Amino acid sequence: MNQESVFKYIQDNGNDYELMKSIRLACDKNVKALNSSLKARAKPVVKYESSSLEVATEMKDSVLERYPFLTDKINLETWAQSIEQITSIDKHPRESVRPVMEWSQEHQFWQQQIRSGKNLRKHFEQMLVQMKSQARRMEFIS
């Protein structure tokens, strides 16, 4: 039964309590079905290792040294989840995450860009390549 036919029925038959009750029940069923469908589609919560939380905490301390006004915007749990995704989804070795994060916080350009776990993940590969390139140049010079 669509909305137009409901209104036409009400106009033709007056205010029918039983009709209104059945419409309400049908709507409630539709809402419940929609809610359960949305819950099924919700993104699964990514769990994270304690090492990801440790890296997130270190990064937070480093970021707050330069940007103390960001205190209220930092959510360590989401940072740790983003850092965990670097290993679980992007398939980088866990032992490469901390050195890249530390390097990013010392690098003149990247320390301004990397102020969240999301940005660390977004730029991780690019920073890893730059970090390795810089290390090779230093070996070549010495």
Inform me whether the pLDDT recorded for 62 exceeds 80.
yes
Average pLDDT for residues 30-51, to the nearest whole number?
Answer: 73
Is residue 123 within 8 A of residue 114, CB to CB? The reply is yes
Same domain as 103, residue 56: yes
Same domain as 88, residue 28: no
Provide the domain limits for residue 57. Answer: 50-141
Same domain as 32, residue 54: no
At 26, list the tokens. 């049908």
Tens-digit pLDDT profile for residues 103-115: 999 999 999 999 9
Rounded Cα distance, 84 and 94, in Å:
8
Q: What is the total count of domains within the chain?
A: 2
pTM over 0.75: no
